[in-house]
Amino acid sequence: MLVYLSGYQTYAQNFVADVKIQGNERTKTGFIKKVIRLNSGMELDSTLLREDVQRLKRLPSISHAYFQVFPALEEGTYNVFYGVEENFTLIPFANVYTSNNDEFAFRIGLQEFNLFGQNITLGGFYQRDIFNSYGAHIRAPYLFNKQWGLAVSYQDLRTQEPVFLESGTADYRYNNKSVEVLGLFELNFKNRFEFGINFFTENYDYLFGETDPSVPQELEVDKYLLKLIYNYDAIEYYYQYLSGFRSALNLQYVHSTDRMLPEFVIGFNDFTYFLRVGQRGNWANRLRLGLSSNIDSPFAPFAVDNNLNIRGVGNTIDRGTGAIVLNTEYRHTLIDKNWFVLQSNVFIDGGTWRNPGGDFSDFGDAQNLRIYPGFGIRFIHKRIFNAIFRIDYGHGITDQGTRGVVFGIGQYF
């Protein structure tokens, strides 16, 4: 006999006889039992069962999860079965972005999200953005136990970056080599923390454009960065549909060995809200609020960029020491088969920035405002983790608006 649990019932006399896992092939049963919170001998708790199911759905290796409860031999005890549907987790990825200024850049890579059946992510990438870049990372959120994990990454990034001077714009070749180590801590179902340190070296080499006696044409500086990330996640997942609220706070302190690039503090928060609309619709929203030390430097931390915040705007067209960015889009499922989904979307990306050394009135300056409506299409495989191939076209409607196409793997946000 299958027992259905209601959140309004209490189970003071009902206990769990055994917890069983079914449907998993690549994901280890021992790992799933390490992640879930319900164990043998505990009171039967419908709230905890539902939380465990949502926790399993968040794992890269699992596309869907459910629970079943059956009476056990001893009166007042029950066997709990967690059923899972697994994802394929060895995934190539690609991001390609262009604009009407003939800019073209791409990043390709390969990631395994379920290494050793333990939901450990191991990946690497190659990027071509005028120059060559590469990186690798490993992330094991449950490496030590239910709460503690570790993430390590290495990057060697080389790009052509605009530097905005009073007399005009100069272009520099920018190189960033970094090693980062983060501790991962899950306080409870909705609250997670990441904290650690990043050691990196930055190189700036002048290529062409305007010059300024106060701005060096060559610069190399060693830095370290202290990072704290706090994630509040109350999102519920049902295949491609999401509902609920999530907040991600990122705080960083950067120390520099060169006075040209002084130490600074940066913080930003992404507020994300999803709402189901009927049977096939999903309204998605992301608001980013960010501030940093207001240093009058051409190397400000917040960028206006195609692949980060405004679809169609171009590759790093401006920088600032503060940012307000809103992305809102409506996603509608056109085709939904057993393994394949075709989804359309219409969006508006908008943002404004504070100029380096400026004040808060810069947010209201029309020259700093970017608004880009657009539309796109999504090709989704329901049995492969993050297998969402997206194409978006954005068209600027504010001053000096451009237009461009952004390709990528995964939803934009």
95-128: b (≥16 Cβ within 10 Å) or e? bbbbbeeebebbbebebebbbebbbbbbbebebe
State yes or no: pLDDT of 152 exceeds 60: yes
**CA count, 13 A, side-chain hemisphere, 126:** 2
* Residue 123 φ then ψ, to 5°: -155, 170
Q: Order of strands across the sheet with 15-22?
A: 15-22, 77-86, 62-71
pTM for the complete prediction? 0.83
Domain borders along the chain are 15-86, 90-123+162-174+185-195+205-409
Concatenate the DSSP letters of all residues of 101-116 into one string: T--EEEEEEEEEEEET
The predicted-structure confidence for 314-325, as pLDDT tens digits, reads as follows 877 778 999 999
Please return the burial class of 79, using the count of CB atoms within 10 Å of its CB with bins 0-12, 13-18 and 19+. middle
Confidence at residue 199, expressed as pLDDT on a 0 to 100 scale: 97
Gap between the Cα atoms of 385 and 381, Å rounded:
8
Confidence at residue 286, expressed as pLDDT on a 0 to 100 scale: 98
Question: Which residue spans within 234-292 are E strands per DSSP?
Answer: 236-238, 241-256, 264-277, 281-292
Highest mean pLDDT among 102-106, 175-179, 218-222, 300-304: 175-179
Instruction: Please give the share of the chain, as a percent, with pLDDT higher than 70.
Output: 95
Q: Which CATH superfamily is domain 15-86 in?
A: membrane protein fhac (3.10.20.310)
Which ranges of 247-344 would DSSP assign to H, the alpha helix? none
The predicted-structure confidence for 76-125, as pLDDT tens digits, reads as follows 999 999 999 999 999 888 777 665 455 678 889 999 999 999 999 999 99
Count CB neighbours of 75 within 10 A: 8
Q: Which of 136, 152, 5 is nearest to 80 (CA)?
A: 5
Concatenate the DSSP letters of all residues of 291-306 into one string: EE-----TT-SEEE-T
Q: Which of 311, 343, 270 is nearest to 412 (CA)?
A: 311
Confidence at residue 98, expressed as pLDDT on a 0 to 100 scale: 62
Gap between the Cα atoms of 367 and 353, Å rounded:
9
The predicted-structure confidence for 31-49, as pLDDT tens digits, reads as follows 999 999 999 999 999 999 9
Count CB neighbours of 349 within 10 A: 25
Confidence at residue 99, expressed as pLDDT on a 0 to 100 scale: 53
Whole-number Cα distances in Å, 155 to 110, 123, 361:
15, 12, 36
Q: Which of 214, 200, 369 is nearest to 298 (CA)?
A: 214
CATH architecture for residues 90-123+162-174+185-195+205-409: Beta Barrel (2.40)
Count CB neighbours of 223 within 10 A: 18
Per-chain mean pLDDT for the chain: 91
State yes or no: pLDDT of 8 exceeds 50: no
Instruction: Please give the share of the chain, as a percent, with pLDDT higher than 90.
Output: 72
Cα 127 from chain centre = 18
Count CB neighbours of 360 within 10 A: 10
The predicted-structure confidence for 251-271, as pLDDT tens digits, reads as follows 999 998 877 677 889 999 999
